[in-house]
Amino acid sequence: MTHDYDAFLLLSFGGPERPEDILPFLENVTRGRGVPRERLLSVAEHYHHMGGKSPLNDQNRALIAALRQDFLAHGIELPIFFGNRNWAPLLEDTLAEIQAAGHRRVLTFITSAYSSYSGCRQYLEDIERARAALTDAPSVDVLRRFFNHPAFLDACFAQLSPSWEALRAELGSEALARARIAFTAHSIPMSMANSCDYQRQLLANSQLLAERLGHPHWDLVWQSRSGPPEVPWLAPDILDHIRELHGSHASGLLIAPIGFLSDHVEVLYDLDEEARQLCQELRLPMRRAATVGTHPRFVEMIRLLVLERMAGVVPLGMGPLPAPPSVCAPGCCPRPERPPARRS
Protein backbone atom coordinates (compact mmCIF):
# COMPACT_ATOMS: atom_id res chain seq x y z
CA MET A 1 0.00 0.00 0.00
CA THR A 2 1.45 3.40 -0.96
CA HIS A 3 0.40 6.74 0.47
CA ASP A 4 1.87 10.04 1.63
CA TYR A 5 2.23 9.19 5.33
CA ASP A 6 5.36 7.48 6.57
CA ALA A 7 4.73 7.30 10.37
CA PHE A 8 1.87 6.92 12.81
CA LEU A 9 1.78 8.60 16.23
CA LEU A 10 -0.48 7.62 19.11
CA LEU A 11 -0.75 10.79 21.19
CA SER A 12 -2.21 10.55 24.69
CA PHE A 13 -2.54 12.40 27.97
CA GLY A 14 0.28 10.73 29.88
CA GLY A 15 0.66 9.56 33.45
CA PRO A 16 3.34 9.05 36.10
CA GLU A 17 5.00 5.67 36.36
CA ARG A 18 6.86 6.24 39.66
CA PRO A 19 5.62 7.62 43.00
CA GLU A 20 8.09 10.53 42.88
CA ASP A 21 6.65 11.65 39.54
CA ILE A 22 3.04 11.92 40.68
CA LEU A 23 2.99 15.48 42.02
CA PRO A 24 5.18 16.95 39.23
CA PHE A 25 2.87 15.28 36.71
CA LEU A 26 -0.23 16.80 38.33
CA GLU A 27 1.46 20.20 38.40
CA ASN A 28 2.11 19.85 34.66
CA VAL A 29 -1.52 18.98 34.00
CA THR A 30 -3.01 21.83 36.04
CA ARG A 31 -0.47 24.61 35.44
CA GLY A 32 -2.21 27.96 35.03
CA ARG A 33 -5.67 26.63 35.96
CA GLY A 34 -5.82 27.82 39.55
CA VAL A 35 -6.33 24.35 41.01
CA PRO A 36 -5.87 24.49 44.80
CA ARG A 37 -2.79 22.76 46.20
CA GLU A 38 -4.94 20.66 48.51
CA ARG A 39 -6.80 19.28 45.47
CA LEU A 40 -3.50 18.22 43.87
CA LEU A 41 -2.46 16.45 47.06
CA SER A 42 -5.84 14.72 47.23
CA VAL A 43 -5.58 13.47 43.64
CA ALA A 44 -1.97 12.40 44.25
CA GLU A 45 -3.29 10.08 46.95
CA HIS A 46 -5.47 8.39 44.32
CA TYR A 47 -2.33 7.45 42.40
CA HIS A 48 -0.55 6.25 45.54
CA HIS A 49 -3.61 4.15 46.35
CA MET A 50 -3.31 2.55 42.90
CA GLY A 51 0.30 1.49 43.53
CA GLY A 52 2.15 4.76 42.97
CA LYS A 53 1.69 4.98 39.20
CA SER A 54 -0.84 5.49 36.47
CA PRO A 55 -1.76 2.45 34.36
CA LEU A 56 -2.40 4.69 31.35
CA ASN A 57 1.01 4.34 29.65
CA ASP A 58 0.88 0.54 29.92
CA GLN A 59 -2.65 0.57 28.53
CA ASN A 60 -1.53 2.68 25.59
CA ARG A 61 1.42 0.36 24.98
CA ALA A 62 -1.04 -2.55 24.86
CA LEU A 63 -3.16 -0.62 22.35
CA ILE A 64 -0.08 0.09 20.23
CA ALA A 65 0.83 -3.61 20.26
CA ALA A 66 -2.69 -4.47 19.07
CA LEU A 67 -2.49 -1.79 16.37
CA ARG A 68 0.84 -3.09 15.08
CA GLN A 69 -0.68 -6.53 14.60
CA ASP A 70 -3.82 -5.11 12.98
CA PHE A 71 -1.90 -2.78 10.65
CA LEU A 72 0.40 -5.64 9.60
CA ALA A 73 -2.55 -7.93 8.92
CA HIS A 74 -4.16 -5.31 6.68
CA GLY A 75 -1.12 -4.10 4.77
CA ILE A 76 -0.65 -0.74 6.49
CA GLU A 77 3.12 -0.27 6.65
CA LEU A 78 3.41 2.59 9.11
CA PRO A 79 5.84 2.51 12.04
CA ILE A 80 3.99 3.43 15.24
CA PHE A 81 5.35 5.92 17.76
CA PHE A 82 4.03 6.89 21.20
CA GLY A 83 3.94 10.36 22.74
CA ASN A 84 2.18 12.16 25.60
CA ARG A 85 1.16 15.70 26.43
CA ASN A 86 1.97 15.71 30.13
CA TRP A 87 4.60 13.05 30.94
CA ALA A 88 7.17 10.78 29.39
CA PRO A 89 7.35 9.86 26.61
CA LEU A 90 6.71 13.55 25.94
CA LEU A 91 5.44 14.66 22.55
CA GLU A 92 8.46 16.89 21.94
CA ASP A 93 10.87 13.99 22.44
CA THR A 94 8.80 11.60 20.32
CA LEU A 95 8.57 14.07 17.45
CA ALA A 96 12.35 14.52 17.56
CA GLU A 97 12.69 10.73 17.47
CA ILE A 98 10.38 10.56 14.46
CA GLN A 99 12.44 13.22 12.70
CA ALA A 100 15.73 11.47 13.50
CA ALA A 101 14.33 8.28 11.97
CA GLY A 102 13.84 10.18 8.70
CA HIS A 103 10.04 10.36 8.67
CA ARG A 104 8.43 13.44 7.12
CA ARG A 105 4.63 13.03 7.26
CA VAL A 106 3.04 11.83 10.48
CA LEU A 107 -0.57 10.70 10.90
CA THR A 108 -1.68 11.08 14.51
CA PHE A 109 -4.40 9.43 16.59
CA ILE A 110 -5.36 11.39 19.71
CA THR A 111 -6.84 9.23 22.48
CA SER A 112 -9.93 11.38 22.88
CA ALA A 113 -13.28 10.49 21.32
CA TYR A 114 -15.17 13.70 22.03
CA SER A 115 -14.78 17.36 21.07
CA SER A 116 -13.59 19.85 23.67
CA TYR A 117 -10.70 22.20 24.20
CA SER A 118 -8.85 19.73 26.44
CA GLY A 119 -9.70 16.76 24.18
CA CYS A 120 -8.98 18.38 20.83
CA ARG A 121 -7.69 21.94 20.42
CA GLN A 122 -5.17 21.74 23.26
CA TYR A 123 -3.55 18.72 21.61
CA LEU A 124 -3.32 20.62 18.32
CA GLU A 125 -1.63 23.52 20.11
CA ASP A 126 0.84 21.13 21.75
CA ILE A 127 1.67 19.60 18.38
CA GLU A 128 2.44 23.00 16.90
CA ARG A 129 4.68 23.89 19.87
CA ALA A 130 6.54 20.60 19.50
CA ARG A 131 7.02 21.21 15.78
CA ALA A 132 8.20 24.77 16.39
CA ALA A 133 10.96 23.44 18.64
CA LEU A 134 12.48 21.51 15.72
CA THR A 135 14.23 22.74 12.60
CA ASP A 136 12.41 21.52 9.49
CA ALA A 137 9.93 19.51 11.60
CA PRO A 138 7.84 16.73 10.06
CA SER A 139 4.27 17.58 9.16
CA VAL A 140 1.68 16.21 11.58
CA ASP A 141 -1.91 15.51 10.51
CA VAL A 142 -4.46 14.52 13.14
CA LEU A 143 -7.26 11.99 12.73
CA ARG A 144 -10.72 13.30 13.52
CA ARG A 145 -12.80 12.90 16.70
CA PHE A 146 -14.68 9.60 16.49
CA PHE A 147 -17.42 9.67 19.15
CA ASN A 148 -20.13 8.30 16.85
CA HIS A 149 -18.08 6.04 14.60
CA PRO A 150 -20.07 2.78 14.31
CA ALA A 151 -17.07 0.65 15.33
CA PHE A 152 -16.49 2.75 18.46
CA LEU A 153 -20.13 2.43 19.49
CA ASP A 154 -19.98 -1.31 18.81
CA ALA A 155 -16.99 -1.57 21.17
CA CYS A 156 -18.75 0.51 23.83
CA PHE A 157 -21.82 -1.71 23.63
CA ALA A 158 -19.74 -4.89 23.73
CA GLN A 159 -18.18 -3.70 27.00
CA LEU A 160 -21.53 -2.56 28.40
CA SER A 161 -23.50 -5.76 27.82
CA PRO A 162 -21.68 -8.20 30.19
CA SER A 163 -22.04 -5.84 33.15
CA TRP A 164 -25.71 -5.33 32.38
CA GLU A 165 -26.24 -9.08 32.28
CA ALA A 166 -24.35 -9.44 35.59
CA LEU A 167 -26.72 -6.89 37.14
CA ARG A 168 -29.67 -8.82 35.69
CA ALA A 169 -28.36 -12.03 37.26
CA GLU A 170 -28.17 -10.31 40.65
CA LEU A 171 -31.51 -8.47 40.53
CA GLY A 172 -33.70 -10.63 38.31
CA SER A 173 -35.41 -9.35 35.17
CA GLU A 174 -38.38 -7.79 37.00
CA ALA A 175 -36.23 -5.70 39.34
CA LEU A 176 -33.83 -4.83 36.51
CA ALA A 177 -36.65 -2.80 34.94
CA ARG A 178 -36.26 -0.34 37.84
CA ALA A 179 -32.46 -0.07 37.54
CA ARG A 180 -30.68 2.98 36.17
CA ILE A 181 -27.74 3.36 33.82
CA ALA A 182 -25.31 6.18 34.61
CA PHE A 183 -23.16 7.07 31.62
CA THR A 184 -20.13 8.99 32.90
CA ALA A 185 -17.45 11.25 31.46
CA HIS A 186 -14.87 13.64 32.84
CA SER A 187 -16.51 16.87 33.94
CA ILE A 188 -15.24 20.07 32.34
CA PRO A 189 -15.79 23.76 33.19
CA MET A 190 -19.03 25.24 31.87
CA SER A 191 -16.97 27.87 30.02
CA MET A 192 -15.43 25.02 28.03
CA ALA A 193 -18.65 23.03 27.64
CA ASN A 194 -20.49 26.07 26.25
CA SER A 195 -17.99 26.46 23.39
CA CYS A 196 -17.91 22.88 22.08
CA ASP A 197 -20.11 19.84 21.40
CA TYR A 198 -18.75 17.68 24.24
CA GLN A 199 -22.00 17.41 26.19
CA ARG A 200 -24.18 16.99 23.08
CA GLN A 201 -21.96 14.20 21.77
CA LEU A 202 -22.03 12.33 25.07
CA LEU A 203 -25.80 12.70 25.35
CA ALA A 204 -26.22 11.35 21.82
CA ASN A 205 -24.04 8.31 22.55
CA SER A 206 -25.80 7.66 25.85
CA GLN A 207 -29.15 7.63 24.08
CA LEU A 208 -27.89 5.32 21.33
CA LEU A 209 -26.37 2.83 23.77
CA ALA A 210 -29.40 2.82 26.08
CA GLU A 211 -31.71 2.21 23.13
CA ARG A 212 -29.50 -0.61 21.91
CA LEU A 213 -29.60 -2.15 25.38
CA GLY A 214 -33.38 -1.71 25.42
CA HIS A 215 -33.47 0.19 28.71
CA PRO A 216 -35.10 3.64 28.92
CA HIS A 217 -33.90 4.70 32.38
CA TRP A 218 -30.52 6.38 32.02
CA ASP A 219 -28.65 9.54 32.92
CA LEU A 220 -25.49 11.30 31.80
CA VAL A 221 -23.46 12.29 34.86
CA TRP A 222 -19.95 13.54 35.48
CA GLN A 223 -16.87 12.68 37.48
CA SER A 224 -13.28 13.64 38.30
CA ARG A 225 -13.80 17.39 38.65
CA SER A 226 -10.50 19.13 39.46
CA GLY A 227 -11.14 22.88 39.25
CA PRO A 228 -11.53 25.52 41.94
CA PRO A 229 -14.89 25.24 43.73
CA GLU A 230 -16.12 28.69 42.67
CA VAL A 231 -15.92 27.82 38.94
CA PRO A 232 -19.04 26.10 37.51
CA TRP A 233 -18.43 22.64 36.00
CA LEU A 234 -20.77 20.14 34.38
CA ALA A 235 -22.97 18.43 36.97
CA PRO A 236 -24.27 16.30 38.62
CA ASP A 237 -21.28 14.45 39.98
CA ILE A 238 -21.57 10.66 40.03
CA LEU A 239 -21.55 10.53 43.85
CA ASP A 240 -24.35 13.09 44.14
CA HIS A 241 -26.26 11.14 41.51
CA ILE A 242 -25.92 7.90 43.47
CA ARG A 243 -27.33 9.61 46.57
CA GLU A 244 -30.29 10.84 44.54
CA LEU A 245 -30.90 7.34 43.16
CA HIS A 246 -30.96 5.96 46.68
CA GLY A 247 -33.81 8.33 47.50
CA SER A 248 -35.71 7.35 44.33
CA HIS A 249 -35.74 3.61 45.18
CA ALA A 250 -33.81 2.51 42.10
CA SER A 251 -33.22 -1.24 42.21
CA GLY A 252 -29.65 -1.10 40.94
CA LEU A 253 -27.10 0.88 38.96
CA LEU A 254 -24.92 0.23 35.95
CA ILE A 255 -22.09 2.76 35.56
CA ALA A 256 -20.79 3.04 32.00
CA PRO A 257 -17.71 5.33 31.68
CA ILE A 258 -18.15 6.02 27.97
CA GLY A 259 -16.12 9.24 28.21
CA PHE A 260 -12.93 7.23 28.83
CA LEU A 261 -11.06 4.89 26.52
CA SER A 262 -9.21 2.83 29.13
CA ASP A 263 -9.47 1.86 32.78
CA HIS A 264 -6.99 4.38 34.16
CA VAL A 265 -6.93 6.10 37.56
CA GLU A 266 -10.05 8.22 37.12
CA VAL A 267 -12.04 5.08 36.36
CA LEU A 268 -10.35 2.79 38.87
CA TYR A 269 -10.46 5.22 41.79
CA ASP A 270 -13.48 7.45 41.17
CA LEU A 271 -15.76 4.59 40.13
CA ASP A 272 -14.34 1.31 41.42
CA GLU A 273 -13.38 2.81 44.78
CA GLU A 274 -15.48 5.88 45.65
CA ALA A 275 -18.67 5.14 43.73
CA ARG A 276 -18.62 1.45 44.61
CA GLN A 277 -18.07 2.19 48.32
CA LEU A 278 -20.98 4.64 48.35
CA CYS A 279 -23.25 2.11 46.62
CA GLN A 280 -22.29 -0.50 49.20
CA GLU A 281 -23.05 1.90 52.04
CA LEU A 282 -26.45 2.66 50.52
CA ARG A 283 -27.04 -1.01 49.66
CA LEU A 284 -27.52 -0.16 45.99
CA PRO A 285 -26.44 -3.04 43.72
CA MET A 286 -23.90 -1.68 41.24
CA ARG A 287 -21.88 -2.87 38.26
CA ARG A 288 -19.29 -0.96 36.27
CA ALA A 289 -18.85 -1.52 32.54
CA ALA A 290 -15.34 -1.77 31.11
CA THR A 291 -13.95 0.88 28.78
CA VAL A 292 -13.13 0.02 25.17
CA GLY A 293 -9.42 -0.57 25.93
CA THR A 294 -8.04 -2.90 23.26
CA HIS A 295 -11.38 -4.32 22.16
CA PRO A 296 -10.99 -5.59 18.57
CA ARG A 297 -13.69 -3.26 17.22
CA PHE A 298 -11.92 -0.26 18.74
CA VAL A 299 -8.60 -1.31 17.23
CA GLU A 300 -10.40 -1.83 13.93
CA MET A 301 -11.92 1.65 14.22
CA ILE A 302 -8.46 3.25 14.41
CA ARG A 303 -7.43 1.40 11.26
CA LEU A 304 -10.65 2.53 9.55
CA LEU A 305 -9.89 6.14 10.51
CA VAL A 306 -6.45 5.79 8.94
CA LEU A 307 -7.90 4.38 5.74
CA GLU A 308 -10.64 7.03 5.78
CA ARG A 309 -8.00 9.78 5.81
CA MET A 310 -5.74 8.17 3.23
CA ALA A 311 -8.61 7.51 0.82
CA GLY A 312 -10.36 10.84 1.47
CA VAL A 313 -13.74 9.18 1.99
CA VAL A 314 -16.73 10.67 3.82
CA PRO A 315 -16.39 10.12 7.60
CA LEU A 316 -18.65 7.42 9.06
CA GLY A 317 -21.05 8.35 11.84
CA MET A 318 -24.33 7.26 13.35
CA GLY A 319 -27.00 8.78 15.54
CA PRO A 320 -28.53 12.28 15.56
CA LEU A 321 -25.23 14.19 15.16
CA PRO A 322 -23.04 14.29 12.06
CA ALA A 323 -19.63 12.70 12.07
CA PRO A 324 -16.92 15.27 12.88
CA PRO A 325 -15.07 16.58 9.83
CA SER A 326 -11.82 14.97 8.74
CA VAL A 327 -9.93 18.15 9.58
CA CYS A 328 -10.88 20.42 12.48
CA ALA A 329 -12.09 23.90 11.59
CA PRO A 330 -9.65 26.65 12.63
CA GLY A 331 -11.91 27.91 15.42
CA CYS A 332 -13.23 24.64 16.80
CA CYS A 333 -13.14 23.91 20.55
CA PRO A 334 -11.62 27.27 21.56
CA ARG A 335 -9.64 27.80 24.74
CA PRO A 336 -12.07 28.72 27.54
CA GLU A 337 -11.68 31.98 29.37
CA ARG A 338 -9.71 31.54 32.57
CA PRO A 339 -11.44 32.46 35.82
CA PRO A 340 -10.12 35.53 37.63
CA ALA A 341 -7.34 34.81 40.10
CA ARG A 342 -8.52 34.08 43.62
CA ARG A 343 -7.73 36.70 46.24
CA SER A 344 -6.11 35.55 49.43
pTM for the whole thing? 0.94
Give whole-number Cα distances, 127 to 109, 173, 176, 183, in Å.
12, 50, 47, 31
Domain annotation covers residue 332:
no
- Do 17 and 109 sit in the same domain of this protein? yes
What pLDDT, on the 0 to 100 scale, is given for residue 2? 40
What pLDDT, on the 0 to 100 scale, is given for residue 229? 80
Put the strands of the sheet holding 218-223 in their side by side order: 218-223, 180-186, 253-256, 286-288
Q: For Cα atoms 93, 96, 99, give the angle at the middle one, nearest 5 degrees.
A: 155
What's the CATH number where 80 sits? 3.40.50.1400
- Do 173 and 275 sit in the same domain of this protein? yes
Domain annotation covers residue 324:
no
The residue segments making up the domain with residue 92 are 7-147+296-311
- Do 135 and 220 sit in the same domain of this protein? no
- Do 195 and 64 sit in the same domain of this protein? no
How many independent structural domains does the chain possess?
Answer: 2
- Do 241 and 154 sit in the same domain of this protein? yes
Listed residues 255, 288, 321: the one ending a domain: 288
What pLDDT, on the 0 to 100 scale, is given for residue 1? 40
What pLDDT, on the 0 to 100 scale, is given for residue 3? 61
Give whole-number Cα distances, 35 to 32, 83, 146, 186, 228, in Å.
8, 25, 30, 16, 5
Q: How far is 257 from 212, CA to CA, in rounded Å?
A: 16
Tell me the per-residue pLDDT of 218-230, one tens digit each, with 9 for 90 and over: 999 999 998 778 8
- Do 255 and 307 sit in the same domain of this protein? no
Low-confidence ranges of the chain (pLDDT < 70): 1-3, 338-344
Domain annotation covers residue 58:
yes
Domain annotation covers residue 328:
no
Tell me the per-residue pLDDT of 38-55, one tens digit each, with 9 for 90 and over: 888 988 999 998 899 999
Q: Parallel, antiparallel, or unpaired for β 218-223 and 253-256? A: unpaired
Domain annotation covers residue 337:
no
Query: Residue 185's beta-bridge partner residues?
Result: 222
What pLDDT, on the 0 to 100 scale, is given for residue 339? 54
- Do 108 and 221 sit in the same domain of this protein? no
- Do 283 and 301 sit in the same domain of this protein? no
Rg (CA), the chain: 20
- Do 102 and 155 sit in the same domain of this protein? no
Tell me the per-residue pLDDT of 150-175, one tens digit each, with 9 for 90 and over: 999 999 999 999 999 999 999 999 99
Would you give the DSSP letter of residue 118?
A: I
Domain annotation covers residue 173:
yes
- Do 164 and 65 sit in the same domain of this protein? no
Main-chain dihedrals φ then ψ at residue 7, nearest 5 degrees? -160, 155
- Do 130 and 17 sit in the same domain of this protein? yes
- Do 55 and 180 sit in the same domain of this protein? no
Domain annotation covers residue 339:
no
Domain annotation covers residue 243:
yes
What pLDDT, on the 0 to 100 scale, is given for residue 33? 72
